[in-house]
């Protein structure tokens, strides 16, 4: 047990170190003085339940609770965990010209959604977002907390002059993520709709404990689960009701980071930024078929050419020896040629070994490629491997 706690402490320290290893601009965006930090509607609830609060993206957020990060990660994989992700920015767009991302949102059926990205004129990723087509003239997006200001400025600039289009920022709503193999059974006890008929990426509006909630079958862990947008005034009652179920534990940012890395999911500011394109990031699939025919979005011409030529670098996963790799660690061939850089890395609680992702030059991304990773002046063996590291368990309709 002591060994697990020690590793948990190292993971917590590693989470902060990974953020601090980002560029100075990213670091400033992620961290602020305590006086400047925002608090979610569940802040007091976190503290009362032993949450260790840390600054993240301008908010005071729980990195872990009384259990270790390793135990918390494993619990999410085996039962159900509740994450407060109210720092994320929910947005509703209404109107006929609400398609602003690379995905083919017009082609989605109402009540379905997908991961997509906002791009700049160079094809770089301004942000990644889960976007849902609520109705033919309404979409719902969840933006990363650290990207909120620039995303909203980008959206408003793109919508300027568009007739009949409105943008609403949902600051009156909290966002909770219930994740894990028991998540559906736990939530089903609180909602009338049959969740067995709600597949991964699908959306519905429903009453939960008397509150008007938006429920999307999605998450950031690789497990089955739901993100629940709930009015601020009802968030505490819902959180209490969920954790009253013996299958559910509160879970913090430390385990959330380990879970998303095991699932091969990107963290904006580490694995994605405005100098990385969706093609380099392995997110070409987010560019809808219709959009690939027209390339009628910001940066489309650049991405069309890059897709034709092939990217000069690509995001890969790898396992490594020694201490866990951290952001900006160099990746080199056994002969010493630097071919890439780590963007995220940690000890995997589920696999009991180091996992990481990063970008390597063309020709060095094939699974099985042997590399060296530099960590604090020493080099260690690394091997490119397929992602996800831990198989995902998203719910698909029978």
Residues annotated as binding site? 227
Residues 6+ apart with CB under 8 A from 128: 115, 116, 117, 118, 144, 266, 268, 272, 283
Which residues does residue 272 pair with via DSSP β-bridges, in sequence order? 268
Q: How far apart are CA 172 and CA 233, in angstroms?
A: 8
From CA 153, how far away is CA 167, in angstroms rounded?
11
How far apart are alpha carbons 150 and 360 in whole angstroms? 28
Identify whether 191 is preceded by a cis peptide bond (ω within 30 of 0).
no
| CB neighbour list of residue 245: distance below 8 Å, 6 or more residues apart | 80, 186, 189
Binding residues for substrate, by number, are: 227
Its sign, for the CA torsion 395, 318, 289, 100, is positive
DSSP 14-53: HHHHHHHTS-HHHHHHH---GGG-B--TTHHHHHHTT-EE
Nearest Cα neighbor of 278 from 127, 130, 155 is: 127
| 3-state SS class at 259 | helix
Q: List all residues 6 or more positions away from 378 whose beta carbon is below 8 Å from its beta carbon.
A: 322
DSSP 67: S
Phi, psi values for residue 230, rounded to 5°: -130, 140
User: What are residue 138's DSSP bridge partners?
Assistant: 94, 135
User: Minimal CA–CA distance to 267: which of 193, 345, 191?
Assistant: 345
């Amino acid at each position: 047990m002591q060994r697990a706690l020690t590793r948990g402490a190292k993971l917590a320290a590693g989470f902060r170190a990974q953020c601090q290893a980002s560029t100075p601009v990213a670091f400033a965006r992620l961290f602020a003085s305590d006086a400047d930090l925002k608090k979610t509607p569940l802040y007091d609830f976190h503290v009362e339940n032993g949450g260790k609060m840390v600054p993240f993206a301008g908010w005071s957020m729980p990195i872990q609770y009384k259990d270790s990060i390793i135990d918390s990660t494993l619990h999410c994989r085996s039962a159900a965990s509740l994450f407060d992700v109210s720092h994320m920015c929910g947005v509703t767009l209404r109107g006929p010209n609400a398609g602003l991302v690379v995905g083919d949102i017009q082609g989605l059926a109402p009540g379905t959604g997908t991961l997509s990205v906002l791009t700049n004129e160079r094809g770089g990723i301004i942000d990644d977002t889960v976007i849902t087509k609520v109705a033919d003239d309404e979409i719902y997006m969840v933006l990363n907390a650290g990207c909120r200001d620039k995303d909203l400025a980008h959206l408003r600039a793109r919508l300027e002059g568009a007739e009949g289009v409105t943008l609403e920022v949902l600051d009156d709503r909290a966002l909770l993520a219930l994740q894990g193999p028991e998540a559906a059974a736990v939530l089903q006890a609180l909602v009338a709709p049959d969740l067995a008929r709600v597949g991964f990426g699908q959306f519905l509006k429903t009453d939960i404990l008397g509150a008007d909630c938006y429920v999307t079958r999605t998450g950031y862990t690789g497990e089955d689960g739901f993100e629940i947008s709930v009015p601020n005034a009802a968030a505490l009652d819902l959180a209490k009701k969920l954790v009253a179920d013996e299958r559910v534990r509160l879970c913090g940012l430390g385990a959330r980071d380990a879970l998303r890395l095991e699932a091969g999911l990107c963290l904006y500011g580490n694995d994605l930024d405005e100098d990385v394109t969706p093609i380099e990031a392995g997110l070409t699939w987010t560019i809808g078929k219709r959009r690939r025919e027209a390339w009628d979005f910001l940066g489309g011409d650049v991405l069309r050419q890059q897709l034709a030529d092939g990217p000069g670098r690509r995001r890969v996963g790898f396992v490594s020896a020694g201490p866990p790799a951290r952001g900006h660690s160099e990746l080199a061939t056994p002969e010493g040629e630097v071919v890439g850089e780590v963007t995220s890395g940690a000890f995997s609680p589920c696999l009991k070994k180091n996992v990481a992702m990063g970008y390597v030059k063309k020709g060095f991304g094939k699974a099985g490629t042997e590399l060296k990773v530099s960590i604090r002046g020493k080099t260690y063996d690394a091997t490119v491997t397929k992602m996800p590291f831990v198989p995902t368990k998203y719910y698909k309709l029978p």
